[in-house]
C-alpha cells in the first residue's frame, strides 16, 4: 500500500480546541505538520504561526485551502462556520477532520451529506472523540462480542464543574448531550428514534435562567432505552460515566479508579477539571488515526452520516425541552454511500 509523506495540515479556528490541535499535531502526532492556521482574529493566528516553522497565518479559510503546502484540513471553528469550510474543502478534494458539530442543524448537515456524495468518495471524519477513548472502545468491543447478550438499557452521567457563561438550555442538549447521542448510536449500533427531556428543579449553582441539570431519555430502533443525566454546574469537576445493562450482565466505565490514595484519615482519587484533560488521550488517538488513514488514502471514523444523525437527534431534543413532551426523531433513509 502506498503511503503519502508528511501531511501539511491547515487548522481552521484557533480558539481553545484549535490551538490545542495545533499543539497536538506539532508535538504529539506523527506523519503531519501544521502548515497553515486560520482565524478571523489575524493577530491570534499570527502568534500561533510564528511559533511553527513553515506555518502561514490566514484569515480566510479558502486562501489557506488553496495553498500548495496544504494536504488536509482540521476544522475547529464555531459550528455555524463549518458548512462553508467543508464545502470549500470539497472543492479542493481535501480530507477533513471536522470537530463536532458537523453543522449546527440537520438541514445544513444534509447539504454537506449531499455534497460529499457528489464527490463520489468520503472526505470527512467528524470529531466525536469518545469513540477513541480507551474505556469506550473496551465497552464497544464487549457489547459487540455478544458475551452479555443484547443491550437493554444504557445509563449515562455527564457532569461539568461549571458551564460556560454563554451556555443556554438548548446548548445543554446540542453541545453537551450530543456526545451521548453519538456514542449511543455507536455503542449499540442502533438509531435513536425518540427523545424526552425532563427538567428537575435547577441547581442553585446554575446561572440565572439556565435549566441545569436535565434528564434525557432516548429510545432506539433496537428497543433499547438510554438515559443521560446532564449536570453542567456540579461544582466538583468533570465526569463522564456509562453503564450498559444487558441480558446477561452489566458493564460500567468512567469510574476513575486508576489511582486511589489513603492518607490523613481520608481516601479517594482525583476528578478531571474539564473535558480537555479527561479526553486528552482520546483526542491524541483520534487525530493520529485521521492522519494515518489520510496518508493511506482512506477515510475512517465517524462520517457525515453520523454528524447528520447527531444533529437530527439534537434538534428533536431541543424541541422536547421546549415543548415538554416526547419528540420523534426525523431521519432520512441512510444512503448506501454511508453503509
Q: Is residue 315 part of a domain?
A: yes
**Please, are residues 60 and 38 in contact by the beta-carbon 8 Å criterion?**
yes
What total number of domains does the chain contain? 2
Q: What is the pLDDT of residue 1?
A: 46
Tell me the average pLDDT across 228-235: 97
| Spatial distance between the Cα atoms of 226 and 331, rounded to a whole number of angstroms | 18
Three-state secondary structure call for residue 339 = coil
Distance (Å, rounded) from C-alpha 50 to C-alpha 73? 19
Q: What is the reported pLDDT for 258? A: 55
323-332 confidence digits (pLDDT tens): 999 999 999 9
What average pLDDT does this structure show over 307-335?
A: 97
Residue 31 maps to a domain = yes
| pLDDT tens figures, 188-228 | 999 999 999 999 999 999 999 999 999 999 999 999 999 99
Evaluate whether 278 touches 238 at the Cβ level (below 8 Å). yes
- Work out the mean pLDDT of the chain and round it to a whole number: 94
Residues 104 and 168 in one domain: no
Q: What is the pLDDT of residue 73?
A: 98
pLDDT in tens, 267-298: 776 777 777 678 899 999 999 999 999 999 99
> In terms of domains, do 91 and 171 share one?
no
**Structure confidence by residue, pLDDT tens digits, 5-18:** 899 999 999 999 99
Whole-angstrom distance, CA of residue 229 vs CA of residue 317: 14
| Average pLDDT rounded to a whole number, residues 27-32 | 97
Cα separation, 309 vs 68, in Å, equals: 34
Q: Is residue 245 part of a domain?
A: yes
Instruction: Please indicate, yes or no, whether residues 260 and 164 belong to a single structural domain of this protein.
Output: yes
What is the DSSP annotation of 224-262?
Answer: -EEEEEEETT-SS--EEEEEEEETTEEEEE----S--EE
Q: DSSP E strands: which ranges in the chain? A: 7-12, 32-38, 56-58, 72-75, 96-99, 124-127, 151-159, 192-198, 214-220, 225-231, 239-246, 249-253, 261-263, 266-268, 327-328
Q: How far apart are CA 34 and CA 26, in angstroms?
A: 7
Q: What is the CATH number of the domain that holds 144?
A: 3.30.360.10
Within-domain flag for 91: yes
Range of the domain at 73: 7-130+281-302
pLDDT greater than 70 at residue 2:
no
User: What proportion of the chain, given as a percentage, has pLDDT over 90?
Assistant: 90
**Are 118 and 218 in a shared domain?**
no
- Domain contains 228: yes
In this structure, are 145 and 64 located in the same domain?
A: no
Q: Verify that 117 and 148 share a domain, yes or no.
A: no
Flag whether 124 is in a domain: yes
- Asked whether residue 250 is domain-assigned, the answer is yes
CATH classification at residue 36: 3.40.50.720
pLDDT digits (tens, 9 = 90+) for 123-176: 999 999 999 999 999 999 999 999 999 999 999 999 999 999 899 999 999 999
156 shares a domain with 297: no
Assess whether 114 and 16 both reside in one domain: yes
Please tell me whether residues 224 and 328 are part of one structural domain: yes
- Comparing CA positions, the residue from 128, 97, 107, 118 lying closest to residue 29 is 97
74, 96 contact by CB (below 8 A):
yes
- In this structure, the answer to whether residues 76 and 138 fall within a common structural domain is no
Q: Does residue 2 sit within a domain? A: no
Residues 68 and 195 reside in one and the same domain: no
What's the pLDDT score for residue 152?
98
Distance, C-alpha 313 to centroid of its chain: 14
202 and 292 inside one domain: no
**96 backbone φψ class: left, alpha, beta (φ>0; ψ -120 to 50):** beta
Amino acid at each position: 500500500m502506498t503511503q503519502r509523506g508528511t501531511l501539511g495540515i491547515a487548522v481552521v479556528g484557533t480558539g481553545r480546541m484549535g490551538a490545542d490541535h495545533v499543539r497536538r499535531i506539532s508535538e504529539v502526532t506523527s506523519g503531519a505538520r501544521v502548515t497553515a492556521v486560520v482565524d478571523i482574529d489575524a493577530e491570534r493566528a499570527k502568534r500561533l504561526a510564528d511559533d511553527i516553522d513553515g506555518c502561514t497565518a490566514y484569515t480566510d479559510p479558502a486562501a489557506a485551502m488553496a495553498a500548495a503546502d496544504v494536504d488536509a484540513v482540521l476544522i475547529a471553528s464555531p459550528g455555524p462556520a463549518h458548512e462553508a469550510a467543508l464545502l470549500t474543502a470539497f472543492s479542493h478534494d481535501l480530507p477533513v477532520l471536522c470537530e463536532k458539530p458537523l453543522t449546527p442543524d440537520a438541514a445544513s448537515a444534509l447539504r454537506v451529506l449531499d455534497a460529499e456524495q457528489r464527490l463520489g468518495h468520503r472526505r470527512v471524519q467528524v470529531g466525536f472523540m469518545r469513540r477513541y477513548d480507551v474505556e469506550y472502545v473496551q465497552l464497544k468491543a464487549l457489547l459487540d462480542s455478544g458475551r452479555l447478550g443484547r443491550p437493554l438499557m444504557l445509563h449515562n452521567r455527564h457532569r461539568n464543574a461549571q458551564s460556560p457563561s454563554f451556555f443556554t438550555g438548548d446548548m445543554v442538549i446540542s453541545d453537551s448531550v450530543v456526545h451521548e447521542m453519538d456514542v449511543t448510536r455507536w455503542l449499540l449500533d442502533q438509531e435513536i428514534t425518540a427523545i424526552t427531556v425532563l427538567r428537575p428543579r435547577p441547581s442553585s449553582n446554575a446561572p440565572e435562567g439556565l435549566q441545569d441539570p436535565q434528564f434525557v431519555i432516548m429510545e432506539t430502533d433496537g428497543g433499547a432505552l438510554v438515559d443521560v443525566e446532564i449536570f453542567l454546574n456540579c461544582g466538583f469537576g468533570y465526569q463522564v460515566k456509562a453503564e450498559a445493562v444487558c441480558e446477561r450482565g452489566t458493564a460500567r466505565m468512567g469510574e476513575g479508579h486508576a489511582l486511589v490514595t489513603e492518607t490523613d484519615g481520608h481516601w479517594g482519587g482525583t476528578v478531571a477539571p474539564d473535558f480537555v484533560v479527561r479526553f486528552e488521550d482520546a483526542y491524541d488517538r483520534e487525530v493520529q488515526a485521521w492522519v494515518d488513514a489520510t496518508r493511506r488514502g482512506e477515510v475512517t471514523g465517524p462520517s457525515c452520516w453520523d454528524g447528520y444523525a447527531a444533529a437530527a437527534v439534537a434538534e428533536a431534543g431541543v424541541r422536547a425541552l421546549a415543548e415538554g413532551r416526547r419528540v420523534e426523531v426525523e431521519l432520512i433513509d441512510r444512503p448506501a454511500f454511508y453503509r
